[in-house]
Amino acid sequence: MSFKRRMRTVTNYYIANLTVSDLLMTAINIPFNTARIIMDNWPFGQFLCQFVPFIQIHLKLQYI
């Protein structure tokens, strides 16, 4: 997208932003939610217990 000048439109930047957001959401959501479902407790510590939902909410807000 950045190599061709005519591809640098607001719409293309928006689509690229949604793509990156989807990839980050998948990379963060799937491993932690799978571990949470399989295990009875949260094995990742207190920091990630608070940080993962924070990141999930902020990635979801990018869709608005």
Phi and psi angles of residue 39, each rounded to the nearest 5 degrees, phi first: -95, 155
Please state the φ and ψ torsions of residue 60, each to the nearest 5 degrees: -70, -35
- On the 0-12 / 13-18 / 19+ scale of CB atoms within 10 A, 30 is exposed
**Confidence (pLDDT) at 46:** 93
Q: pLDDT tens for residues 12-60?
A: 888 888 888 888 888 888 888 898 899 988 889 999 989 988 888 887 7
Close Cβ partners of 2 (under 8 Å, ≥ 6 residues apart): 8
pLDDT score for 10: 85
Binning pLDDT at 50, 70 and 90, where does residue 1 land?
low
pLDDT at position 60: 75
> Does position 7 have pLDDT exceeding 90, yes or no?
no
R_g (Cα) of the chain, nearest Å: 16
Nearest residue to 13 via CA among 5, 23, 1: 1
